[in-house]
Amino acid sequence: MGRGTVLGYEDLRGWIKALDKAGELKHILEPVDPILEMAEIADRVSKSGKRGGPAGGSALLFENVKGYPGSRVLMNQFGSERRMKLALEVDSLDDVAGRIEALLQLKSPEGLLGKLKMLPMLAEVGRFFPRTVTAKDAPCKQVILRENFSVLDFPVLQCWPLDGGRFITLPCVITRDPRSGKRNLGMYRMQVYDHQTTGMHWQRQKVAAEHLRERLRAAAVADASGDVTAARVRVMAETAGGTTAQNPVIALAQNKDRRLEVAVVIGTDPATTFSAIVPAPPEVEEFVIAGFLRQMPVDLVQCETVDLQVPANAEIVLEGYVELDELRMEGPFGDHTGFYTMEEEYPVFHITCITHRKDPVYAATIVGKPPMEDAWMGKAVERIFLPLMRLTLPEIVDINLPVEGVFHNLMIVSIRKSYAGQARKVMHGIWALGQAMFTKCILVVDEDCDVQDVGEVTLRVTNNIDPERDIQFTMGPIDSLDHASRLPNYGSKMGIDATRKWKAEGFTRPWPQMIGMDPSTRARVDAIWKKLGLD
Ligand SMILES: Cc1cc2nc3c(=O)[nH]c(=O)nc-3n(C[C@H](O)[C@H](O)[C@H](O)COP(=O)(O)O)c2cc1C
Ligand SMILES: [Mn+2]
């Protein structure tokens, strides 16, 4: 594998070919129904490692889709560590972190030699930024449907028996910040309501939800005296104190438009799809992240009916808008927590145009009780974000988000402790760091504890704490999927300081050594180990 041998995948088809070549793809020729059956198959394959097979099994290409002759559905494309590395074209996920670290360490070059040494890095930076191509060079425009189209012409899955319907599960949703003009790519599931309408499940703390609120603030300024529907009041209640009159976006108030334009792409090259789940700072365009990951720019093309650009190589593009004051019940949906998320109101996506490649491949995933495909995507995020977390919290040595903690429920973090109270400072830092705000439980251990070894962590944490003394509770925003918090989206979090306690923290008893054999005894036993025949 490695960067030298593979050049970024152009599109989903290039990626499917690479999966095939690597022996990572199973072609399913048996007829399979997108209603529940595909999910059941993908679930079993995802959990195959538990029964002794390779963890995460293979990617699946369903080529005989019940009710959809000629259609193909790709699932589980990211569903193992090996495929995740193949997708990002690295031998180790820490390689990506290494490339980010190298970039972050950029300093002014010294002398001509220093400048020359920097050239390859600058050339690399040039590859990050998206390029614009014309419609005739955009495969996603091979078929353009402006009327009588139906999103149900694609084999949209129903994942679990109690789901509220069929859901688009791997959509890359593109919106534009009305203020900065920056584009965002986020993955938010979409429940199909009818042929041209879906839900838009962006949770309130996500970037696209903020784009909608920006539009709403502007519109509300425009007709401050006008009628405000109940739905709008509800969304308004989520905005910063609802003080729209003082909002600095007066210029936007001229805009009478009641919509936020949205484009959705399904089936792109793996770096672009992956970039949609990355918890990037709002100011960073995911298209640049995708360019960085695949070391090749993303080609974008202008949409037909909205002023947005989409990856030109996408299999399927849905263009449309969200009305500023429309909400509709979404769900239930069998979620990645292992529970169903119950019905809740979310914005509604109205499709104005569908474009697609000839014979498009529909890309899907399912979420549910872990481990699932998203476990591997999450692990990649964990590795890639470590250097970025260290920018703010340099004492962090390593982190582990165990898959069963479904990312936001549990983070284990080891730190190099240099002063009293530092473990608590790290907890608060994590709760302040982008989407890490959702972390319900944080365990902090000393640097000599391997956080990837959950057994070792259990031993340290339970031995090292005086619970009442070492547990830190706080309140804050909670993931929308949490079913236990006292209020939706708001509740408590807990940090456990399992580091060794210092005198400076009021601990005056001696702290014992951990047990370990001395090196010379180990060496002597190593020397005779084979003879003992104990292996
Ligand atoms: C398969 C999958 C489905 C997801 N579904 C949703 C969803 O329905 N709503 C949501 O807010 N986030 C969802 N996420 C998480 C977001 O994609 C993630 O938080 C991302 O960083 C959001 O992008 P943003 O920061 O640009 O808003 C999903 C992630 C994955 C991997
Ligand atoms: Mn984003």
Residue type, 532: L
Q: Which ligand is nearest to the CA of 331?
A: 1
Q: In sequence order, which residues have a C-beta less than 8 Å from that of residue 404 and are 6 or more positions away? A: 370, 410
Pocket of ligand 1 from Cβ distances under 6 Å: 169, 184, 186-189, 201-203, 206-208, 277-279, 365, 367, 374, 377, 435
Q: Which of 497, 461, 479 is nearest to 405 (CA)?
A: 479
Q: Which ligand is nearest to the CA of 189?
A: 1
Residue whose Cα lies nearest atom 13 of ligand 1: it is 188
Catalytic residue annotation: 335
Atom of ligand 1 nearest to the CA of 190: 8
Structure token pair of residue 134 = 């014309």
- Choice among 9-23, 87-101, 239-253, 265-279 with the minimum mean pLDDT: 239-253
What's the mean per-residue pLDDT of the chain? 91
CA of 264 to the centre of ligand 1 (A): 13
CA of 420 to the centre of ligand 2 (A): 35
Condensed to tens digits (0 to 9), the pLDDT of residues 468-502 reads 999 999 999 999 999 999 999 999 999 999 999 99
Condensed to tens digits (0 to 9), the pLDDT of residues 368-392 reads 999 999 999 999 999 999 999 999 9
- Spell out which residues have Cβ within 5 A of ligand 2, the ion: 184, 207, 280
Ligand 1 pocket mutation pick from 277, 286, 349, 438 by most atoms within 8 angstroms of CB: 277
| The predicted structure's pLDDT at residue 114 | 81
Structure token pair of residue 153 = 């012409």
CA of 208 to the centre of ligand 1 (A): 10
User: How sure is the predictor about 167, in pLDDT bands with cuts at 50, 70 and 90?
Assistant: very high
Tell me the average pLDDT across 448-461. Answer: 98
Q: In sequence order, which residues have a C-beta less than 8 Å from that of residue 87 and are 6 or more positions away? A: 15, 77, 78, 270, 271, 274
Q: Which ligand is nearest to the CA of 191?
A: 1
Is residue 192 within 8 Å of residue 166, measured between CB atoms?
yes
Name the region of 532 (left: φ>0; alpha: ψ -120 to 50; beta: rest). Answer: alpha
pLDDT-above-90 percentage for the chain: 82
Is residue 10 within 8 Å of residue 314, measured between CB atoms?
no
Is residue 269 within 8 Å of residue 8, measured between CB atoms?
yes
- What is the number of other CB atoms lying within 10 angstroms of the CB of residue 195? 13
CA of 149 to the centre of ligand 2 (A): 29
CA of 259 to the centre of ligand 2 (A): 20
Is residue 356 within 8 Å of residue 140, measured between CB atoms?
yes
Condensed to tens digits (0 to 9), the pLDDT of residues 202-259 reads 999 999 999 999 988 877 755 554 444 444 544 554 443 443 444 333 334 334 478 9
Q: Beta strand pairing status for 361-363 and 396-400?
A: unpaired
